[in-house]
Structure 1
């Protein structure tokens, strides 16, 4: 299986690339800075230089040719302003989805966030509110598409603690934290579970092994 990952140098993406390489899948990570290439190679992934803020849909589609699945794990990141929340967290996700549809790469996973449905609460920091709106708009766009077998994953508060392999994965989990290790493990499992297509799932730490949780979330 060949998987193309947008935001290939992100903390979750690098973990996912290691997992995919370890099980014999082929991963390619889109990066906007060639300085990240060695990190991807060390994770067992192919680095692909592509800036989703400036690339055309044709350019992105060229990188998706022959892929079995696409994962949008990009984000503007901490320290970025409201404008980049829109150009990365919304517009780049839409562009990547457009490219996936153009190349008939139906399986499409999105790493989103909790709390992005509806308007942010009053008093929310303006930049964080822009982030929530951008993520929500991207999710809405993807969920309206008929040409993708999409799954949207909404993790809780991310931590760098070692993964436990035990999670709570459901349409609604309540607030909580989850290690990035476990988010990557769930993404890897989702790629092998087509029955989760068409579902928006929240993820926090829990008591159910990852593979069992993903199987239980399947509609097939």
Structure 2
């Protein structure tokens, strides 16, 4: 564990030839899908870039949709990695949420993530099963990873939550909404690390302490009492 309270997650086990081939296919698929779109993307083009054979590609992923979803799975694994680190480290909630929020938002703001999200939205009408799978494999998995960390902090007595899963959804939406939505609409919007940090710091403070302390006017308080 390092001084920031995170753990070294590097895998020291040797990578098999099959794993290397799978990683090469996914990397090539990412390039082809983003360049050509889902419908125009060719499995042959992916093999040409990655090496190997079509038979190996199909045996590993089944079809083009299977490959596309495997590519999404890999991206989600990268996004949820920091949540697993903070959970394993039992990191204090304020520090852990700041690191999780910054990593989550930074990943979503990467050009590849923005392009992938736009691509998935464009598939909703003709290939609705792909966005549905994206929600199940992506949004639900990210929310669960954060909820697991929040539950750990509840068990430690650091926070109290009636519904950790709903709280996780709220935190993730607040973290991404302001910066990521703007970047999706405008390619010139590219928030830097300091802007991301400032935004996430505000979200963490709001999440842990509340946005405002509401003080009703005397006439409002009396009417509520009635």
Q: Which has the larger radius of gyration?
A: 2
TM-score by length of 1: 0.35
Q: Which has the higher helix share?
A: 2
Higher RCO (CA 8 Å, separation ≥ 6 residues) = 2
